[in-house]
Chain A
Amino acid sequence: MAARIQLRRLAHARSGDKGDTANVGVIAYSRAAYDFLVRELTAERVAAHFAGTIEGPVERFELDNLDALNFLLHGALGGGGTVSLMTDAQGKVYSTALLRVELDVPEDVLASLPERAGPPEGT
């Protein structure tokens, strides 16, 4: 059994910029959630999520020590910095857009989440 839920139930995140690249750090709420995200939240999955929004490739780095993944979204900021015409020219809230990703999460991963992550939505 798996439940289709949003990434925000499994992880929190923070984002920032380096030129025209946005970075999104995704921090899992449990070790089991991290292991699941390593398998499922691939660079390809994230690139597909942002298709039509970002112009460049997506890179992923694993921080096994922090139960975290770091994504670099290239060509995400309309030129970046003062060049960009976007409201979010510095990618400050790109993290929240990534937390919309929907994943089929197994029950044991759901059971591993601390209460603060809230009840899973949907089935």
Chain B
Amino acid sequence: MSRTTLRIACGQGFWGDRLDAPVEQVRRGPIDVLMLDYLAEVTMSILQKQKSRDPSQGYARDFVPLLQEIFPDVVAKGIRVISNAGGVNVAGCRDGLIEAARAAGVSGRARIGTVTGDDILERLPDLIAAGHELANMDDGRPLSEVLDLVESANAYIGAVPIVAALERRATVIVTGRSTDTALTYAPMIHAFGWAWDDWDRIAHGIVAGHVNECGAQASGGNCLVDWESIPDLADVGYPIVEATADGPFVLTKHSGTGGRISPAIVKEQILYEMGNPAEYITPDGIADFTSIRLEADGENRVRVHGVRGRPRTDMLKVSIAYRAGFKAVGTLVYAWPDAVAKAQRADAVLRERLERLGLAFGEIRTEYVGWNATHGPLAGPPPADLPEVELRVAVKSEDRARVERFTREIAPLILSGPPSVTGFAGGRPRVQDIVAYWPALIDRAAIEPGLEVDVVEA
């Protein structure tokens, strides 16, 4: 390919992000690629559960009506859409998109690419039998310990199948558990024809992907630095990577939108969810974030360059979710005077009740929202004369019945506990399933031969 620049816009930082952000990205200025990240660590297990109840579900449902809305723009402007919205039912998502293309009047003018093979839930027993221990990266336990409780298991796959779908002229590409960053750097590799061992250029793409994947967090949202002066967050412009064939890129946003892109803000996003900055590992290479150079390049433009990369490893990360018991959170609000003292007394009454009922829990945690819920002991003693405080008590147990019984001990505190209490209109707390996350590694040779790329006309 002979392109020299490529504009890759982020339309979604997580499933639940601003619904019209991708529409704005498509309509308010020029872009070449729209990427949308829908998957967080536990999203796959939620999708797996939806699929087990209804086999037509299991993907990010918002994606289909979104495409129905933007299909005419996407087709007219030649924009490529790349998303991991497929979750655990990529084919179901594709079928929805074909319907959406018809409804949008673009039938015959759009091509839907799908990438599958990341979902290894059904393969787990065979993989373990073949010697893949899938040990927990945090504590080393072998997966066999919780195999019966596993709800979902997906390998984080890289850019190779996305690039293959782009080569086959897919308009929209839907994947399962693609690595978030690959949604941004795969179209760079494709457009610029980068070699798969061009580690420094790929490392630039990885940094671009990391900065791009959390939506407005790179363009003024949730930014601490100078937050009071960041303009018009109600119309915040989501980030756009202006990539170049040599690797260096500019992070920017559409003109006329709110928010801000500055070196300080980009630095904040670079450090978000950072481990060892010298080795940011993806399926397609390792980026050294300590080599990043960046500076302002005009208003709302930050130029990033100098990134060094290293070869990819032989392993892929695997995201496994398993059932780990139940929890519930009860809250009540106590008013001035002596709000904290009343809430503390209520907590003591509640705990004594639970003890009298013989209910032991794996953990009981009490927080006072308005005083110490976020800073714990660092919050110091409660401020004198606090106008109000929310008592928040959470429990967990492997025994659902115990957690259920706990949820019936909150409301009685209204009439039988300390005074000046309110804020219970929401009713009894809900018992929630705990779905725990099990990170593991697997030999890429066990995954990559099973990846499938398919492109169909919509």
Chain A residues at the B interface, C-beta cutoff of 8 Å:
12-20, 23, 25, 27, 49-50, 52-53, 61-66, 68, 70, 72, 78-83, 85-88, 93, 95-97, 100, 116
Contact = CB atoms under 8 A, between A and B. Distances in A.
B411 interface: no
Nearest to B138: A19
Given A19-B439, A63-B277, A82-B435, A14 B272 contact: yes
B264 A70 contact: no
Interface residues of B, number: 51
A68 B273 contact: no
SS class, residues of chain B in contact with chain A: mixed
Contacts of A85: 327, 329, 363, 365, 394-396
B313 interface: no
Given A19-B437, A87-B373, A87-B374, A27 B271 contact: yes
Contacts of B32: none
Given A25-B274, A61-B276, A88 B377 contact: no
B290 interface: yes
B275 A72 contact: yes
Given A12-B225, A87-B374, A81 B437 contact: yes
7 contacts: A23-B271, A25-B271, A64-B290, A80-B437, A85-B365, A93-B374, A96-B375
A66 B436 contact: no
Interface in B3-17: none
Nearest to A24: B271
Contacts of B222: 14
A15 B271 CA distance: 8
A72 to B, nearest CB: 7
B28 interface: no
Contacts of B439: 19
B135 interface: no
Contact of A18 (B270, B271, B273): B273
A100 B271 contact: no
A87 B367 contact: yes
Can you list the 4 inter-chain pairs with the closest CB atoms, starting with the nearest? A25-B271, A16-B273, A85-B394, A85-B365
Interface in B127-142: 138
A123 B41 CA distance: 45
Contact of A86 (B225, B271, B291, B365): B365
B264 A61 contact: no
B154 to A, nearest CB: 16
Contact of A63 (B224, B275, B290, B392): B290
Interface string B414-458: 000000000000000000101111010000000000000000000
B381 to A, nearest CB: 15
A66 B267 contact: yes
Chain A CB count within 10 A is highest, among B278, B367, B369, B375, for: B375
- Most chain A beta-carbon contacts within 10 A, residue among B278, B378, B439: B378
A86 B372 CA distance: 11
A18 B281 CA distance: 14
Contacts of B434: 82-83
Contacts of B277: 61, 63, 70
Given A83-B324, A86-B367, A88-B374, A61 B273 contact: no
Contacts of B223: 14
A63 to B, nearest CB: 5
B365 A83 contact: no
B77 interface: no
